[in-house]
Amino acid sequence: MLRFAAHKGRLWGLAALAGLVTAVAVVTTPRAEKVGAADRHGVHAQHSDEAMRAEAEAYWATRTPVGENAKAPAGGPAVTITVDNFFFQAGSPTQVDTAHIVVGESVMWQWVAGFHTITNGTGSGDPNSGTLFDQPSDEFDPQFTFTFNNAGVFPYYCSFHELQNMRGFVEVTEPASVPPDAGALLGFARDPAPNPTSAGVTFRYALREAGRVRAEVFDANGRRVALIVDRDMPAGAHNAAWDGRTPAGLADTGIYYIRLRLPGYDQSRSVAIRH
């Protein structure tokens, strides 16, 4: 793939390391022939970042990513899932997490650390594995957004770490047949999540009538570090997201506050950043 071509010289040097020869040889096996997955994952857990990089290069050298990287709505994806070593986090920190959305909404996987894949299916033995999406999640491809247009429960996993139980689910339901009364909602309709997080968060807010929306992020000292939304919006519910970044880069570990101001509403929600 082109993204690795720019790093060809560095990767060739890494491939010369004797400790990488076995890892590279194993991961070039096609998906349908993953017979020695247990041995591969057992060794992988002890690999350095350089070995993980070589494993990812070998994996994608024989595969083409599956699934279109959708453009998230203006308000951001409905759910952001962080991709870290070695778990997916959509809500509270659990080994296997579930994201809940409705048909037509998007999920964004946000890379934090390591070399991973975002692959639909229950594991490499699933005949439907990788048929909906199979994408890299690493320093070269830090985000993947997918829009779910059908109801159902969609399992996914990391092909490199399935035996470490690095997996999750996206539960997609049909929108309610009778829309909720927007007039009964005002302000935060869904609190920022995941919380705590190592990257960004998403949240949902509602207006009873059209008006100006302003959402800002402040640190524990009361300094504004990010502006999320500042525009006129129609009545109803809307999605918004903070990518966890400040003008200086990724936000440091600590407590931050998302202040949401709407006509007739001014409240804040705390968000814990942990690296």
Using DSSP's 3-state secondary structure scheme, residue 158 falls into coil
Residues 6 or more apart whose Cβ sits within 8 Å of residue 255: 219, 220, 270, 271, 272, 273
The boundaries of the domain holding residue 146 are 79-173
- Domain CATH number, residue 255: 2.60.40.1930
Residues 6 or more apart whose Cβ sits within 8 Å of residue 275: 198, 250, 252, 253
Any domain includes 168: yes
Residues 6 or more apart whose Cβ sits within 8 Å of residue 226: 216, 217, 242, 245, 246
Helices first, then strands: H and E counts in the chain:
5, 18
Q: Which of the listed residues 173, 201, 230 is the one where a domain comes to its end?
A: 173
Beta strand 167-173 with 96-102: parallel, antiparallel or unpaired?
Answer: parallel
Any domain includes 69: no
pLDDT at position 134 is 96
Any domain includes 11: yes
Side-chain-side CA neighbours of 24 within 13 Å: the count stands at 17
| Adjacency order of strands within the sheet including 106-111 | 87-89, 79-84, 106-111, 143-147
pLDDT at position 215 is 93
Q: Is the pTM of this model over 0.75?
A: no
131 lies in the same domain as 187 = no
Distance CA 106, CA 58 (A): 30
pLDDT at position 184 is 52
Ranges of beta strands (E only) in the chain are 79-84, 87-89, 96-102, 106-111, 116-120, 134-137, 143-147, 152-157, 167-173, 187-193, 201-207, 211-219, 224-233, 236-242, 245-246, 249-250, 254-262, 265-273
131 lies in the same domain as 195 = no
223 lies in the same domain as 164 = no
pLDDT at position 95 is 53
| Residue 84 near residue 114, CB atoms below 8 Å | yes
Residues 6 or more apart whose Cβ sits within 8 Å of residue 46: none
159 lies in the same domain as 207 = no
pLDDT at position 194 is 84
Counting the structural domains of the chain, the total is 3
Residues 6 or more apart whose Cβ sits within 8 Å of residue 2: none
The list of the chain residues with pLDDT below 70 reads 1-47, 72-75, 91-97, 175-184
188 lies in the same domain as 117 = no
